[in-house]
Chain A
């Protein structure tokens, strides 16, 4: 039986956490070769979970795993009014839900280069 976990997102703007609806959330494989799921945020800025295949849970419950005990995925969150939010190597474990709490920033169209991404890379735990 395949092992899997879940990925979900909540998208908002400002520290007041004003929800951003109709943002696209795309989960792609870590090598960007395939799209694993895509959603659009609802009025609360949320999506329904996307199922992601993962290594076995037991791989993360004792030290010395030969391979990373989690699935690595890339997450692209975008909306026409905001800078793109990109997480590289986001982690998903079997039976657990990973969440992207994405605070989006409004685009500054007056800037020399108004279109840019906020790009975050997740490195493994030092375990």
Chain B
């Protein structure tokens, strides 16, 4: 039996389902950034995103027995994260605040769509604009724009119709475009969308 990435991951998941916590730790290692990214983009606070991320992996571990290992694990676990993140935002105790100061990861070497200072400003502006969206709009936007889930997958994950996904996504993008207008010129060129 060949040891492709997919089978390697399937093997990890089967072992994790069988109680191998070391195997599950490796699963966490592979998907933690992606899960954290979904959580953070919705809840917008590191401490809350941390809670959501941990809860997501705990829930995923509990539900592993129902997961079809022939399917990709990433979208599944991201859907769990989005649901938990929305649940947190909807909870009475949630407070919508910006990220705490000083909690910056080592800057990524990856080039973004804009350069340097302009990029940092655009990112700040994007964060503010995302804050103006509802949690549900943020979730739909993150799951589509960042995670690449289909409308059907998003609808199933969030318990809404595909039509609702479509309309929320449209409204989210409209608001973000309106807030980010000046910064999008360069980004548009790099996005290179062909009509």
Q: Do A and B bind each other?
A: no
A residues adjacent to B (C-beta < 8 A): none
